[in-house]
């Protein structure tokens, strides 16, 4: 991006600081989709963050209803088991009573429901859906990231069940109860493993869903940042160039309005044309913001409009000669626009920050590459307000996006030079009408300032209209490559 109007020093001071608005794909932060930690919480009982978590009372009521009704119904078919009494119903209700706290204290709740379930088994009450509260607590603990504690509670529950069924049953109700068979134990173990696997699968899918949402949010943030930078760069190019020309022409008009009113009128005409063209291009850029995804209505500028940049610079008092070498080829739109903007920013830097009276633009079409050279013959003037510029950063960004480079610095014999190299594919290259020819076109400051006319190859000034219809700022000269 080129340096803002009136910001000198880029030709002698590096502007390699961090790019504003860049590298911020994580601005939105991770999308929260529930606790998804792989490890345990900081406290063994699962505390540490849910002081204001919602208490899921309705789920607890449903679990309590199923356990009480199901176990009451089951005791009619299990006459050998202990009949449900007040303590039995208390145990059936105690597990669901703990469930509202499972989001705040998942580890404590899963261990507590396992203990309540073992107590119910030890009392010899009828088998039924009494394990439902533990199943809910187990799933909540796994989803909360307390997998180790959840599986430890499940193993403890199964181990306690084995002790009760094969050893302690002799001393526990109901009297005369025989030990459980290993077939039933194997079936219970298989059920427990299947349930645990289903919960783990749900956890994995939940985490994948959260990860996908997070990645989509980050991708959207990156796209927004890239688009914001693109729009900012285009707007800056347009405004910086136009304001540079307007500033110079306004000074000319102010100085000549009394003694040479005709020349002052010409300067004012250039100001009006430049401001009108800049306004049109700004509207085009802003229109792309109002209609996302729509293609621009006007074609993007390219190297074929470099002579217009020369005329604009000439109207600001700079003699510019444009030279083309090699076999011109049809460039991809992105490369064509980047080349145009690099030349534009370099010329703007000369106009604003150099005392140069003349400049040369070389467009060298080489096999597999496009080389752009912008030379001037003057020292930096230091005009304008102090501040760091972004011209070199903008040129480098455009070149780097195409795999190219930009080098800039003072010349040994005085003046300043910007050299940009953009790699281009050899395939599909088409030669221009005069293959291998060198064309030279230029415009003097006097012609540009007094008539606002254009030029053609190998000619002097012609009578083309002055300002470019889709111009953007000739970018500032690069910084950090040596002081002028």
CATH numbers and ranges of domains, the chain: 57-216 (no CATH), 234-450 (3.30.565.10)
* pLDDT value of position 472: 37
Please report which confidence band the pLDDT of residue 284 belongs to, taking 50, 70 and 90 as the band edges: low
Q: Annotate 181-205 with DSSP letters as a single string.
A: PHHHHHHHHHHHHHHHHHHHHHHHH
User: Length of the chain in residues, anyone?
Assistant: 484
Q: What span, in angstroms and rounded, lies between the C-alpha atoms of 386 and 7?
A: 5
Structure tokens at 381: 């003037």
Q: Residue range 182-204: average pLDDT?
A: 80
pLDDT at residue 101 above 70? Answer: yes
Q: What span, in angstroms and rounded, lies between the C-alpha atoms of 430 and 75?
A: 91
Q: Residue range 178-197: average pLDDT?
A: 74
Please report which confidence band the pLDDT of residue 289 belongs to, taking 50, 70 and 90 as the band edges: low
pLDDT at residue 113 above 90? Answer: yes
Q: Between the ranges 29-33, 183-187, 293-297, 393-397, where is the mean pLDDT highest?
A: 393-397
- Phi first, then psi: what are they for 394, rounded to 5°? -65, -45
Q: Is the dihedral of CA 45, 47, 48, 49 positive or negative?
A: positive
Structure tokens at 160: 């306690």
Strand partners, 35: none
pLDDT at residue 91 above 80? Answer: yes
pLDDT at residue 44 above 50? Answer: no
7 Cβ contact list (under 8 Å, min separation 6): 384, 385, 386, 387, 388, 389, 476
Is the pTM here over 0.75, yes or no? Answer: no
Q: What span, in angstroms and rounded, lies between the C-alpha atoms of 82 and 300?
A: 87
pLDDT higher at 231 or 140: 140
- Phi first, then psi: what are they for 413, rounded to 5°? -95, 15
pLDDT higher at 190 or 100: 100
Please report which confidence band the pLDDT of residue 370 belongs to, taking 50, 70 and 90 as the band edges: very high
pLDDT (tens digit per residue) in 16-43:
444 334 443 444 443 334 444 444 444 4
* pLDDT value of position 288: 60
How distant, in Å, are the alpha carbons of 9, 57, 352, 401 from that of 475? Answer: 13, 65, 10, 17
Please report which confidence band the pLDDT of residue 449 belongs to, taking 50, 70 and 90 as the band edges: very low
Residues 40 and 148: beta-carbon distance below 8 Å: yes
pLDDT at residue 149 above 90? Answer: yes
Q: Which of 83-92, 178-187, 198-207 has the lowest mean pLDDT?
A: 178-187
Residues 83 and 76: beta-carbon distance below 8 Å: no
Q: Residue range 65-88: average pLDDT?
A: 86
* pLDDT value of position 127: 85
Q: Which of 142-146, 231-235, 255-259, 383-387 has the lowest mean pLDDT?
A: 383-387
* pLDDT value of position 153: 92
pLDDT higher at 438 or 82: 82
pLDDT higher at 161 or 168: 161
Q: What span, in angstroms and rounded, lies between the C-alpha atoms of 238 and 66?
A: 72
Per-chain mean pLDDT for the chain? 72
Q: Is the dihedral of CA 220, 294, 390, 280 positive or negative?
A: negative
Q: Which of 259-273, 290-304, 362-376, 399-413 has the lowest mean pLDDT?
A: 290-304
Q: Which of 79-83, 148-152, 202-206, 396-400 has the lowest mean pLDDT?
A: 79-83
Cα–chain center distance at 389: 24
Q: Residue range 153-159: average pLDDT?
A: 89
* pLDDT value of position 98: 92
């Amino acid at each position: 991006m080129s340096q803002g109007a009136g910001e000198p020093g880029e030709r002698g001071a590096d502007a390699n600081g961090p790019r504003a608005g860049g590298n911020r794909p994580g601005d939105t932060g991770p999308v929260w989709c529930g606790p998804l930690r792989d490890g345990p919480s900081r406290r063994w009982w699962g505390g540490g963050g849910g002081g204001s978590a919602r208490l899921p009372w309705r789920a607890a009521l449903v679990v309590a209803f199923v356990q009480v009704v199901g176990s009451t119904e089951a005791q009619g078919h299990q006459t050998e088991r202990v009949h449900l009494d007040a303590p039995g119903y208390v145990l059936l209700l105690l597990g669901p009573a703990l469930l509202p706290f499972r989001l705040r204290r998942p580890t404590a709740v899963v261990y507590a429901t396992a203990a309540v379930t073992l107590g119910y088994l030890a009392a010899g009450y009828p088998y039924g859906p009494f394990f439902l509260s533990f199943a809910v607590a187990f799933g909540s603990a796994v989803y909360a990231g307390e997998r180790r504690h959840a599986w430890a509670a499940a193993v403890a529950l199964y181990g306690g069940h084995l002790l009760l069924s094969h050893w302690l049953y002799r001393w526990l109700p109901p009297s005369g109860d025989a030990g459980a068979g290993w077939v039933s134990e194997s079936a219970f173990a298989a059920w427990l493993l299947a349930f645990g696997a289903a919960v783990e699968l749900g956890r994995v899918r939940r985490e994948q869903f959260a990860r996908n949402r997070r990645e989509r949010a980050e991708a959207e943030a990156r796209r927004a940042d890239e688009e914001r930078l693109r729009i900012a760069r285009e707007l800056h190019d347009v405004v910086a160039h136009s304001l540079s020309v307007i500033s110079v022409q306004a000074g000319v008009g102010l100085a000549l309005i009394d003694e040479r009113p005709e020349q002052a009128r010409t300067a004012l005409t250039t100001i009006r044309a430049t401001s009108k063209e800049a306004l049109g291009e700004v509207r085009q850029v802003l229109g792309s913001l109002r209609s996302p995804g729509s293609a621009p209505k006007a074609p993007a500028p390219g190297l074929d409009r470099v002579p217009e940049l020369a005329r604009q610079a000439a109207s600001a008092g700079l003699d510019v000669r444009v030279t083309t070498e090699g076999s011109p080829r049809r460039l991809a739109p992105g490369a064509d626009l980047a080349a145009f903007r690099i030349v534009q920013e370099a010329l703007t830097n000369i106009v604003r920050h150099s005392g140069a009276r003349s400049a040369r633009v070389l467009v060298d079409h080489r096999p597999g590459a496009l080389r752009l050279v912008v030379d001037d013959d003057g020292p930096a003037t230091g005009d304008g307000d102090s501040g760091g510029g972004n011209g070199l950063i903008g040129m480098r960004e455009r070149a780097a996006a195409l795999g190219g480079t930009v080098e800039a610095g003072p010349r040994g014999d005085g003046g300043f030079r910007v050299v940009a190299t953009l790699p281009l594919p050899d395939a599909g290259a088409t030669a221009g009408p005069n293959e291998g020819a060198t064309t030279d076109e230029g415009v003097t400051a006097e012609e540009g300032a007094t008539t606002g006319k254009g030029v053609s190859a190998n000619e002097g000034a012609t009578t083309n209209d002055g300002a470019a219809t889709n111009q953007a700022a000739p970018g500032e000269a690069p910084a950090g490559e040596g002081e002028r």
